[in-house]
Amino acid sequence: MRGLFIVLEGCDRAGKTTQTQLLQKFFHARDRKCELAKFPDRTTSLGITINSYLQGSQALSDQAIHLLFSANRWELIDSLESKVKNGVNLIVDRYAYSGAAFTSAKGLDIDWCKSCDKGLLKPDLVLFLDTSNKTMSKREDFGAEVYENLEFQSKVREQFHLLKDDSWKIINASGTIEEVQAEIQTHVLTLLNQDSYAPIQRNLWCGNE
């Protein structure tokens, strides 16, 4: 049986990294194979350029950085797909939804933003960690990178909500770490209890979304 492909999305400091790590423990406690991935993946040569942009040391046009974020997913998708097909449950911290939400929040056309990631693997489940921008801004290190200001983050949140589809579950991320994880596990358990899954497909944004 293939693994599940689960994505955690949300605005800055929503708790995605914290929750992906706890969710991996949840899988391991059930003797299920589980690996984590994260976008941007700052370890590749494209990722190193993205990192310089995010830290403010390299300027790039809005279009160029969007294409780099997308290319960073395309350069890694074969390896991610192979893991899922070989039975690894994959939990991914940010994906194409971040790409479309962040760039369209700058005013670029959302359909253009989505088109660059059209045909990537479609997740089985997208857990959107939703919380107020005020709550996020109080969390550690908020403000360290280029997009981390409240006005921009509220636009991003609005754009995220335009991207919801049938694979999305909205999680209230304002609770304690344990409360958020409990809500996440409820949705994951529903999937884990299924006897089989439809084949994973490279059809993100290929339908009517």
Answer for which of 98, 104, 133, 159 binds ligand Z5A (CB under 6 A) is: 98
Report, in Å, the least distance between residue 28 CB and ligand Z5A.
19
What string of DSSP letters covers the chain? -PPPEEEEEESTTSSHHHHHHHHHHHHHHTT--EEEEESS-TTSHHHHHHHHHHTTSS---HHHHHHHHHHHHHTTHHHHHHHHHTT-EEEEES-HHHHHHHHHTTT--HHHHHHTTTTSPPPSEEEEEE--HHHHHTSTTTTSSTT-SHHHHHHHHHHHHHT--TTEEEEETTS-HHHHHHHHHHHHHHHHTSS--PPP-S-TTSS--
Q: Using the rule CB under 6 A, is 147 a contact of ligand Z5A?
A: yes
Q: Using the rule CB under 6 A, is 123 a contact of ligand Z5A?
A: no
What's the sign of the alpha-carbon dihedral 126, 116, 119, 75?
A: negative
Answer for which of 13, 114, 122, 157 binds ligand Z5A (CB under 6 A) is: 13
The candidate with the shortest Cα–Cα distance to 131, out of 118, 150, 103, 112, is 150
Q: Which is nearer to ligand Z5A, 16 or 114 (CB)?
A: 16
Between 16 and 55, how does the x/- string for binding to ligand Z5A read (CB under 6 A)?
xxx--------------------xx-------------x-
Q: Using the rule CB under 6 A, is 92 a contact of ligand Z5A?
A: no
Q: Which is nearer to ligand Z5A, 30 or 139 (CB)?
A: 139
Report, in Å, the least distance between residue 21 CB and ligand Z5A.
8
Number of residues interacting with ligand Z5A: please give it, by CB under 6 A: 24
Q: Using the rule CB under 6 A, is 140 a contact of ligand Z5A?
A: yes
The position carrying tokens 């290929």 is 206
Report, in Å, the least distance between residue 166 CB and ligand Z5A.
22
Report, in Å, the least distance between residue 72 CB and ligand Z5A.
7
Binding site for ligand Z5A (CB under 6 A): 10, 12-18, 39-40, 54, 69, 94, 98-99, 102, 139-140, 145, 147-148, 176-177, 180
